[in-house]
């Protein structure tokens, strides 16, 4: 495969994709703050469906003692991963608890032993260099490693390359194009050795011709540190600075920026010979194989001007959002809205009594200055959403169709390809809730398809 560089190093322009938007980055609140380790809270709530796919199946009983890093739920199928307790403690309940998505879902509640250590005392994991591929995939699944970028797609599914396909280019995603979030930035700065170690483990099994670490140009310290580390590395690895633009970190956009290839609708990056992993995922891989610590904690950003001490925290998974916010000094009176995830794609929360999941990249407490409530007007057909949509869809038309509840026509206009980056809602001068109505449309189309399938079969 020929690597094409749309960026030009002589003129100083950086590689990027077409369309997109430039939201206010607001990363200065946390981008210089070191990652802090958050102490254990008294209770942990570990949801069985933290990832995309089938929920995990609990393997512990109420009253059972568990130790840090122990498996408490096994994978429920191939597209599913294991779940581990982040603390020593006792299982107090397996019941329904509030999930950040809004519904109640089954979870395991663990009461923390006050003497719980932060080191893992699990038996050592065999050295990955001596393992066959299928054992490696099995171990990654058991370790509960999922994509840490937000969607929490099980990593072992991504790593198992199907027959007839080949991964020629591996990309590490350190773009972090969402405003406010700095967790990947800090991971790249502080865990650069683990990142390269995890890459070498993965490279041993994938055998890519080239490895690129994609970083947006607004993280010069991360680019500098990783560039130096790459130069002494034996891997065919290189740091690629990318233009600061949203949604640069979406995998399709990243591939089109670096390789110039467009992934056809409904296809995966592997269909064009590439594999994209978040940097946090790769660090988790290294942590598991070198320190035998499965995915029990992750780095999240707590930011926004309504939180007293914005920080980057290493949080055990299952910590309640309220504990995290209290650890950051609590909330100020200017609080207008709380989001899980970034401001563009994150979900507004109605309560703080929900736990941090494997896919949670940040908690944002936005003040009234940062939130603007537009009134909604009719579409004036200015076409700004067409210039913003990175997938070249027609958000204006889709919005009109959604307003008239014409779900079938929305499907004909490729609403299912939309990955809800919210660039169209961001630029709309009429304040039309475009992405929200696309989410409704996608749900209606999927439900209709499921109904048709169940009627046929």
Partner 1 sequence: MNKDWKNGSGVLNLLTEKMNEIVVAAIILVGLGLIFATILAVAYRKLKVYEDPRIDQIEELLPHANCGACGQPGCRAFAEKLVTKEMTPAKCTVSSSEQLEKIAALLGVEAGSEEKRIARLLCAGGKREAQNLADYQGHLKTCRGEAVVAGGIKACSWGCLGLGDCMQVCDFDAIYMNEDGLPTVIPELCVACNDCVEVCPKNLFVLMPIDQKLIVQCRSLLEGDLAESKCSVACTACGRCVVDGAPGLIEMKENLAVINYELNEVASPAATRRCPTNAITWVEWQQFQPPGKIHSPIGRVEKYRSEVKPV
Binding residues (CB under 8 A) for partner 1: these are: 96, 98, 100-104, 347-351, 373, 375-376, 405, 431-433, 436-437, 439-440, 443-444, 447, 451
Nearer to partner 1, 34 or 372 (CB): 372
Rounded Cα gap, residues 456 and 269, in angstroms: 32
> If you ran DSSP here, which 8-state letter would residue 355 be given?
B
Nearer to partner 1, 235 or 444 (CB): 444
Nearer to partner 1, 98 or 176 (CB): 98
CB 280 within 8 A of CB 192: no
Rounded Cα gap, residues 453 and 446, in angstroms: 10
Rounded Cα gap, residues 292 and 284, in angstroms: 10
First-to-final CA distance of the chain: 42
Rounded Cα gap, residues 207 and 169, in angstroms: 9
Rounded Cα gap, residues 246 and 71, in angstroms: 38
CB 302 within 8 A of CB 330: no
- Beta carbon of residue 6, minimum distance to partner 1 (angstroms, whole number): 35
CB 242 within 8 A of CB 220: no
Residue 104, beta-bridge partner list = 98
Nearer to partner 1, 24 or 103 (CB): 103
- Beta carbon of residue 51, minimum distance to partner 1 (angstroms, whole number): 19
Reported in sequence order, the residue ranges of 317-421 that DSSP labels E, i.e. its strands, are: 335-340, 347-348, 362-367
Which region, left, alpha or beta, applies to residue 103 given φ > 0 means left and ψ of -120 to 50 means alpha? beta
Cα–Cα distances (Å) from 170 to 8, 159, 251, in that order, read 21, 11, 12
Rounded Cα gap, residues 78 and 76, in angstroms: 7
Nearer to partner 1, 163 or 373 (CB): 373
Nearer to partner 1, 48 or 257 (CB): 48
- Token pair belonging to 306: 């309504």
Nearer to partner 1, 262 or 420 (CB): 420
Nearer to partner 1, 165 or 403 (CB): 403
- Beta carbon of residue 427, minimum distance to partner 1 (angstroms, whole number): 16
Rounded Cα gap, residues 211 and 188, in angstroms: 16
- Beta carbon of residue 435, minimum distance to partner 1 (angstroms, whole number): 9
- Beta carbon of residue 76, minimum distance to partner 1 (angstroms, whole number): 19
CB 104 within 8 A of CB 96: yes
Rounded Cα gap, residues 322 and 356, in angstroms: 10
- Beta carbon of residue 152, minimum distance to partner 1 (angstroms, whole number): 17
Nearer to partner 1, 4 or 451 (CB): 451
Nearer to partner 1, 211 or 400 (CB): 400
- Beta carbon of residue 376, minimum distance to partner 1 (angstroms, whole number): 4
> If you ran DSSP here, which 8-state letter would residue 152 be given?
-
Cα–Cα distances (Å) from 455 to 140, 229, 407, 408, 409, in that order, read 38, 57, 19, 18, 22
Q: Say how far residue 332 (Cα) sits from the centre of its chain.
A: 27
- Beta carbon of residue 49, minimum distance to partner 1 (angstroms, whole number): 14
CB 242 within 8 A of CB 261: no
- Beta carbon of residue 104, minimum distance to partner 1 (angstroms, whole number): 5
3-state SS assignment for residue 376? coil
- Beta carbon of residue 103, minimum distance to partner 1 (angstroms, whole number): 5
Nearer to partner 1, 95 or 271 (CB): 95
Sign (positive or negative) of CA dihedral 111, 116, 121, 125: positive
Nearer to partner 1, 77 or 431 (CB): 431
- Beta carbon of residue 339, minimum distance to partner 1 (angstroms, whole number): 10
- Beta carbon of residue 359, minimum distance to partner 1 (angstroms, whole number): 15
> If you ran DSSP here, which 8-state letter would residue 27 be given?
G
């Amino acid at each position: 495969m020929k690597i094409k560089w749309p960026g030009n190093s002589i003129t100083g322009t950086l590689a990027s994709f077409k369309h997109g938007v430039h939201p206010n980055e607001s990363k200065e609140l946390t981008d210089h703050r070191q990652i802090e380790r958050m102490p254990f809270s008294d209770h942990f709530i570990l949801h069985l469906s933290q990832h995309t796919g089938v929920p995990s199946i609990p393997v512990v009983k109420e009253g059972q003692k568990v130790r840090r890093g122990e498996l408490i739920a096994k994978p429920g199928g191939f597209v599913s991963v294991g779940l581990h307790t982040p603390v020593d403690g006792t299982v107090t309940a397996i019941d329904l608890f509030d999930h950040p998505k809004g519904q109640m879902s089954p979870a395991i509640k663990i009461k923390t032993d006050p003497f719980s250590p932060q080191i893992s005392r699990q038996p050592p994991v065999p050295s990955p260099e001596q393992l066959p591929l299928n054992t490696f995939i099995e171990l990654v699944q058991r370790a509960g490693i999922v994509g840490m970028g937000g969607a929490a797609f099980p990593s072992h599914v991504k790593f198992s390359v199907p027959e007839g396909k080949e991964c020629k280019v591996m990309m590490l995603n350190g773009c972090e194009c969402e405003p406010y979030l700095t967790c990947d930035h800090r991971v790249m700065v502080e865990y650069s050795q683990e990142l390269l170690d995890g890459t070498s483990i993965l490279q041993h099994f994938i055998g890519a011709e080239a490895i690129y670490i994609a970083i947006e140009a607004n993280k010069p310290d991360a680019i500098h540190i990783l560039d130096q580390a790459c130069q002494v590395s034996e891997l065919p690895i290189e740091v690629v600075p990318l233009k600061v633009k949203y949604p640069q970190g979406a995998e399709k956009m990243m591939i089109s920026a670096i390789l110039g290839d467009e992934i056809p609708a409904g296809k995966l990056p592997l269909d064009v010979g590439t594999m994209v992993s978040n940097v946090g995922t790769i660090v988790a891989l290294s942590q598991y194989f070198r320190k035998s610590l499965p995915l029990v904690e992750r780095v999240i950003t707590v930011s926004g001007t309504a939180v007293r001490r914005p920080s980057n925290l290493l949080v055990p998974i299952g910590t309640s959002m309220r504990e995290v916010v209290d650890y950051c000094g609590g909330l100020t009176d200017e609080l207008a809205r709380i989001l899980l995830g970034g401001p563009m794609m994150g979900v507004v929360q109605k309560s703080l009594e929900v736990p941090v999941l494997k896919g949670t990249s940040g908690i944002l407490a936005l003040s009234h200055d940062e939130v603007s409530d537009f009134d909604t007007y009719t579409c004036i057909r200015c076409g700004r959403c067409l210039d913003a949509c990175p997938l070249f869809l027609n958000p204006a038309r889709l919005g009109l169709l959604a307003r008239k509840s014409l779900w079938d026509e929305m499907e004909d206009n490729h609403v299912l390809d939309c990955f809800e980056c919210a660039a169209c809602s961001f630029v709309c001068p009429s304040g039309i809730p475009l992405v929200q109505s696309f989410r409704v449309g996608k749900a209606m189309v999927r439900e209709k398809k499921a109904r048709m399938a169940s009627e046929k079969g």
